[in-house]
Amino acid sequence: MSALTVDNLHKSRDGQEPLAAITAYDYTFARLADEAGVDILLVGDTVGMVVQGESTTLPVTLDQMVYHTRCVTRGRSRALVVADLPFRAYKSSPAQALDSATRLMAEGGCEMVKLEGGAPMVETVAFLQDRDIPVMGHLGLTPQSVHQFGGFRVQGREPERAAALVEEAMDMEQAGARALLLEAVPRDVARRVTESVSIPVIGIGAGRDCDGQVLVLHDALGLFEGFQPRFAKQYLDGAATVREAIGSFCQEVRSGAFPTKEHSFE
């Protein structure tokens, strides 16, 4: 399986398979996901919720994102690494976005950055693209706007908002975005968005008509027992498995069964 690059990102048509993406935040899980065949590793600011225990992604800092991105890039061999620009690191101006994106690429080692927002971010996307920073746009439910939306709610149900999402997607492509992430929108709206652009659209809670799918790692592995979005499929009861394993360790320590001679230097 060949490495995925920014230049060979593709639509899922003409014989091309949909793209498989998953979030990652550290070396070990990045390596395992890469070996499992994932196309894109997204270093998401969801790290704030599933790793740091925050209620939203808003407190995540740029320094934290650089750190986690570097951990992930050390663990991959073929997957494309995309890193989120955190809430406080790009919205003030295109110049601020450039400084932040430069750090994520130069220090973190990613190949692409992702930023949230539609029309207000078009200028920033063009500014970054003109300066050799590949960008993935993020439309629909944008978690950094959770308070503006009044919670984690499906977007694009109203005809006017659905039409706006299609227009924003086309504007993002025109500005130079190399891919889009589309979150929590009705399937028919996601289909319209996907068909309106020639760049790949990665869906999360957007139906099967997108060019690829992404899940949060901790949701897919059943490790995160907080907020569970409807679209998050659990492929493993990881929390129960981990508790059982650590419980067995505790029991063996207390009973004297561990460590045995084979686990000791004698």
Based on the domain organization, do 228 and 245 belong to the same domain?
Answer: no
Based on the domain organization, do 213 and 242 belong to the same domain?
Answer: no
Asked if residue 106 is part of any domain, the answer here is: yes
12-21, 29-38, 226-235: the lowest-pLDDT one: 226-235
Confidence class for position 69, pLDDT limits 50, 70, 90: very high
Asked if residue 2 is part of any domain, the answer here is: no
Asked if residue 94 is part of any domain, the answer here is: yes
Assess contact for 176 and 133: CB atoms under 8 A.
Answer: no
Based on the domain organization, do 215 and 246 belong to the same domain?
Answer: no
Mean of pLDDT values over 196-203: 98
Beta pairing partners, 139:
182
116 is an annotated ligand-binding site residue: yes
Assess contact for 132 and 176: CB atoms under 8 A.
Answer: no
Mean of pLDDT values over 53-70: 97
Instruction: Tell me the C-alpha distance between 117 and 137, whole Å.
Output: 7
Asked if residue 9 is part of any domain, the answer here is: no
Mean of pLDDT values over 61-74: 98
Mean of pLDDT values over 62-70: 98
Instruction: Tell me the C-alpha distance between 228 and 257, whole Å.
Output: 38
Residues that are catalytic: 183
Beta pairing partners, 140:
183
Instruction: Return mean pLDDT, the chain.
Output: 95
Based on the domain organization, do 75 and 163 belong to the same domain?
Answer: yes
Helices (H) and strands (E) in the chain, counts: 10, 8
DSSP assignment string, 92-133: S-HHHHHHHHHHHHHTT--SEEEEE-SGGGHHHHHHHHTTT-
Residue 79: closest CA among 115, 110, 39, 112: 39
Residue 151 predicted with pLDDT over 70: no
pLDDT attached to residue 15? 84
- Say how many domains are in the chain: 2
Residue 231 predicted with pLDDT over 90: no
Based on the domain organization, do 229 and 245 belong to the same domain?
Answer: no
Asked if residue 3 is part of any domain, the answer here is: no
- The secondary structure element, H or E, covering residue 137 is strand 135-140
Based on the domain organization, do 118 and 247 belong to the same domain?
Answer: no
Residue 67 predicted with pLDDT over 80: yes
Long-range contacts of 149-156 (CB under 8 A, 24+ apart): 152/184, 152/227, 152/229, 153/184, 154/184, 154/185, 154/186, 154/205, 155/183, 155/184, 155/185, 156/185, 156/186, 156/189
Query: Per the structure block, which two tokens stand in for 37?
Result: 């065949």
Based on the domain organization, do 165 and 243 belong to the same domain?
Answer: no
Based on the domain organization, do 39 and 93 belong to the same domain?
Answer: yes
Instruction: Tell me the C-alpha distance between 64 and 133, whole Å.
Output: 20
The H-assigned helical ranges of the chain are 27-36, 47-50, 62-75, 94-106, 122-129, 146-149, 159-175, 187-196, 217-220, 238-255
Based on the domain organization, do 249 and 122 belong to the same domain?
Answer: no
pLDDT attached to residue 13? 85
Q: Which domain holds residue 54?
A: 19-235
Assess contact for 43 and 129: CB atoms under 8 A.
Answer: no
114 is an annotated ligand-binding site residue: yes
Based on the domain organization, do 206 and 251 belong to the same domain?
Answer: no
Based on the domain organization, do 245 and 184 belong to the same domain?
Answer: no
Asked if residue 28 is part of any domain, the answer here is: yes
Which CATH number goes with the domain that contains 190? Answer: 3.20.20.60
> Residue 156 carries which DSSP code?
-
Q: Model pTM?
A: 0.96
Query: Per the structure block, which two tokens stand in for 98?
Result: 């450039």
Based on the domain organization, do 229 and 143 belong to the same domain?
Answer: yes
Residue 82 predicted with pLDDT over 90: yes
Instruction: Tell me the C-alpha distance between 244 and 222, whole Å.
Output: 14
Asked if residue 219 is part of any domain, the answer here is: yes
237 is an annotated ligand-binding site residue: no
